Amino acid sequence: MNQKKSGVSRRDFLKLAGGTAAAMLAAPSLSACQALGGGTSGPITIGLLLPYSDIYAVLGESITDAITMYFDEIGNEAGGREVQFIQEDTEIAPDVAQQKAIKLVEQDEVDLVAGIVSSGVLMNLRDYFHDNQKLLIVANAGANPISRDLKSPYIWRTSFTNWMAPYSMGGWAAENVGTSAAISVPDYAAGENNITGFTQSFEEAGGEVILVQRTPFPNMGDPAPFMAELADSGADLVYSFYSGGAAVTFVQAYSDFGLHGQLPLLAAGFMVEEDVLPAQGEAALGVRSTLHWSYLLDTPENNEFKQAFRERYERDADVFAVQGYDTGRVIAEMLDAVEGDTSDVQAMIDVLPDISFASPRGPFSLDANSQAPRQNEYLREVQMVEGELHNVVIENFGEIVDPGDNSQG
């Protein structure tokens, strides 16, 4: 996958032609490119900035696999040019991600960058992409500020904002499960976004949050100490947001300490996604969550996508794969719309709000205000379906759009 970059855009050509020593050094590759016919031809290179090690490795793999699958389906060509990828591992470390971003943008001179799993990494990279006017398509990280006070014209999301799932859950929970809630989230940006999102709609619907637990991040360790507090809280329900390893240890401890079935557990959908469900096992049964996709969504687009992914990678797709697939499609349609000319970043940005299609997750388009998707939010419940654990869609809450400011939690 790690292909060497061989194309140089017109913008880079102009920069290099400025006459610096660097330009002299780069001259050989430049002339090679010229021979192919100028700055808007040759391969387009896309930098993939994703975690391939540590706790989010699965997410990075899913996103990469699905992007690659999408581009393979369309013949690895968009806007009349060949498309190549360069992968870099961000781990879960904002400083490592920063170095890799610099490497992709300045050394590999990629045309655009896609990826980013962790909200912390995204927040840290925001200024770099903004200041360098480099297009970043975020395939996962949901940090709210990127759609709100820290919006940048150069950063667009094909995934979600951290407000969407908890805000959708709060109102429904107060009306259908109970009016006092305990919240347990990891102590970082995404956790805080989940607290404010859930609390706002929960309180609007007459509920009261009586306990908020902030647990160590990224290494939660043994969650046993948190269970006694939840059990003692006297709340009607628990809302939580964990992913990866923490999602498994939390759900298992919840069951080990006898809370499963006693105290309803509600969550942001990542907590019980396809990547962690097999490890959680029956401890996850009955957990209800909100998310913009479910494995069991019965639409032609989803069924086709699941089958293609399964055949190609011999494992089931998860929500991260869906986001990767849609990221691929957004990038391809954008490149088609600008006819492969990546030299003008503003032109690329301008076409993004016009992109809309039927995604495996349902109707998908990009909102010009929040620079994040307009998409459906689904209420799901973990059930045993033909011997496997999956999220059964209980209700479709319909289209959700981030407010684009802090007016709604």
Partner 1 sequence: MENFIIQFLNGLVFSMLLFIMAGGLSIIFGQMNVINLSHGAFYLLGGYVGLTMVRQMGNFWLALLIAPLLVAILAVVIEHFLLRRLYGAHRHLEQVLLTFGLALIFSDLIQWNWGAYVQSVPPPELLSGHVPVFGLDFPIYRLSLIVFGVVLAAVLWLILERTRIGAIVRAGVSDAQLVSGLGINIHLVFAGVFAVGTALAALAGVIGAPVTTLYPGLDFEILILTVVVVVVGGLGTLKGAFAGALVIGMADTLGKAYISEFSLFLIFAVMAIILLLRPSGLFGLEGIGT
Judged by the rule CB under 8 A, the positions of this chain that interact with partner 1 are 53-55, 57-58, 61, 187, 213-216, 219, 221-222, 224-229, 231-232, 244-245, 247-249, 252, 256-258, 275-276, 278-281
**In whole angstroms, how close is the CB of 195 to partner 1 at the nearest point?**
13
* Residue 286, token pair as written in the block: 């009955």
155's tokens: 């950063």
For the CB of residue 286, give the shortest distance to partner 1 in the complex, in Å. Answer: 17
Of residues 232 and 399, the one with the C-beta less far from partner 1: 232
- Nearer Cβ to partner 1 (187/339): 187
Q: Please, which residue, 266 or 277, has the CB nearer to partner 1?
A: 277
Cβ atoms of residues 141 and 160 within 8 Å: no
Is the Cβ of residue 229 or residue 399 nearer to partner 1 in the bound state?
A: 229
What minimum distance in Å lies between the beta carbon of 162 and partner 1? 19
Label residue 109 left, alpha or beta by phi (over 0 means left) and psi (-120 to 50 means alpha).
left
Q: Which residues are CB-contacts of 235 (< 8 A; sequence separation ≥ 6)?
A: 178, 180, 181, 182, 210, 211, 263
Per the rule left: phi > 0, alpha: psi between -120 and 50, beta: everything else, 38 is left
What single DSSP character describes residue 106? I
Q: Give min distance, CB of 243 to partner 1, in A.
A: 10
Omega of the bond leading into 218 within 30 degrees of 0 (cis): yes
- Minimum distance from CB of 389 to partner 1 (Å)? 13
Nearer CB in complex with partner 1: 84/391:
391
364 vs 323: CA distance, rounded Å = 11
Question: Which of 119/168 has CB closer to partner 1?
Answer: 119
Exposure letters 26-54 (e unless 16+ CB within 10 A, then b): beeebeebeeeeebbbbbbbbbbbbbbeb
Nearest to 141 by CA among 351, 332, 327, 380: 327
Residue 354 is classified by DSSP as: G
* Residue number with CB closer to partner 1 (215 or 370): 215
Smallest distance from the beta carbon of 101 to partner 1, in angstroms? 21
Instruction: Specify whether the CB–CB gap between 65 and 1 falls below 8 A.
Output: no
Distance in Å, CB of 193 to partner 1, minimum: 17
- In whole angstroms, how close is the CB of 144 to partner 1 at the nearest point? 20
Burial class, 22, CB count within 10 angstroms (exposed 0-12 / middle 13-18 / buried 19+): exposed
Closest to partner 1 by CB, 53 vs 303, is: 53
